[in-house]
Amino acid sequence: MATSMSTEECARQILEVVPLVMRDIRCELRSLRTAELTVPQFRALFFVSRNIDASLSQVADHMGLTLPSTSRLVDELIKHHLMTRQEHPTDRRRVKLAVTSQGLIILEASRNRTLKYLAEKLERTNCDERRAMVAVMRALRSVFDKTAKQV
Amino acid sequence: MATSMSTEECARQILEVVPLVMRDIRCELRSLRTAELTVPQFRALFFVSRNIDASLSQVADHMGLTLPSTSRLVDELIKHHLMTRQEHPTDRRRVKLAVTSQGLIILEASRNRTLKYLAEKLERTNCDERRAMVAVMRALRSVFDKTAKQV
DNA sequence: TATTGTTATACTCTATAACTATA
DNA sequence: TATAGTTATAGAGTATAACAATA
């Protein structure tokens, strides 16, 4: 071991493997009929559940989307009664987003199911491998998360 | 260190971080005007470039998509002159997919640009971290890749 | 009959451009 | 004038259902 590792080789591996894992997550999120959420819907719902009264801009920023795209995404969630949109009390340009009780139920169900699914897959790994994974996820987050403030 | 690491905690970290990295990859793939490829287009093109005369089913299988979705995806690539679709010589139900020379150019340009982008971001890491990342990517691949045969 | 693929239809993701309303 | 957000429009991803052609 201890041969040097280029950023290029590391990038190659990431570019091959990350979309693979993502595909699996996406499939799983979509598979339960009672809680059909796309990945963007899941992420938006999750963000707002952790950031009560978030504005549209904040969600867009977190998701890396434009405002129109985010507005549409929120439209969908509201149509499905998973989120609400209210006027901001002091700045009438802004909106206050919140997750409905039904949204919370769906969100947690989706999240728990997906986590369970992933955890089951990870049974094939050993403790050392999982520790390495968690360490790597932390490192990747510090590299890729612009906002980098969410715990 | 050497505390045990649960599959659950590991799953949580993966579910938070992988979509983050994926978003970045997607943005970068889309950002160059001359070589606009979506992630699915990139993956399909890449697969066919490495598996000459692949059938539609093989691509669908690799991508984890249904046949109709894959057919549409290939339609797009053909419309943009990046791929060709021919009849299989001995089994006329099947198609033979191939990447055009222009497709290869676009593919390699996109791939190199994205790799370079990722590699630059990874400059912030050190050699040990990158070795850990590569090891983890290998482990994730063995967990998440159904086909698990591609090198 | 089983396999390979396409077409029809519908919904979502996402962007840019143009717009409205408020600060 | 700058900021927050929506609407209009368009192209792509993706699924299910129904279908055609070949083995």
Dist CA B10 CA A134 (whole Å): 6
Q: What is the pLDDT of residue A27?
A: 85
Q: What is the pLDDT of residue B35?
A: 57
- Give residue A54's pLDDT: 97
- Per cent of chain B over pLDDT 90 is 79
**Strand C and A129 CB separated by under 7 Å:** no
Q: Is B14 exposed, middle or buried (0-12, 13-18, 19+ CB in 10 A)?
A: buried
- B18: nearest CB among A18, A122, A131: A18
B20 closest CB neighbour out of A19, A131, A144: A144
pLDDT, tens digit, 9 for 90 and up, residues A16-46: 999 989 988 988 888 765 557 999 999 999 9
Q: Does B126 touch chain A (CB under 8 A)?
A: no
Q: Does A22 touch chain B (CB under 8 A)?
A: yes
Structure tokens at A104: 């919370």
Q: Which of these, B67, B94, B99, lies nearest to B83 by C-alpha position?
A: B99
What positions of strand D are covered by protein, i.e. any atom < 7 Å from a CB? 3-9, 12-18, 21-23
CA atoms within 13 A on the CB side of B12: 9
**What residue of A is the nearest CA neighbor of B117?**
A11
pLDDT score, position A65: 93
Residue A150 confidence (pLDDT) above 50: no
Residues with pLDDT less than 50, chain B = 148-151
Q: What pLDDT does B139 receive? A: 96
How confident is the model at residue B107, as a pLDDT? 93
- CB within 8 Å of chain B, chain A residues 60-99: 63-64
pLDDT in the model for residue A145: 78
User: Would you report the helix, strand and coil content of chain B in percent, each value rounded to 5?
Assistant: 70, 5, 25
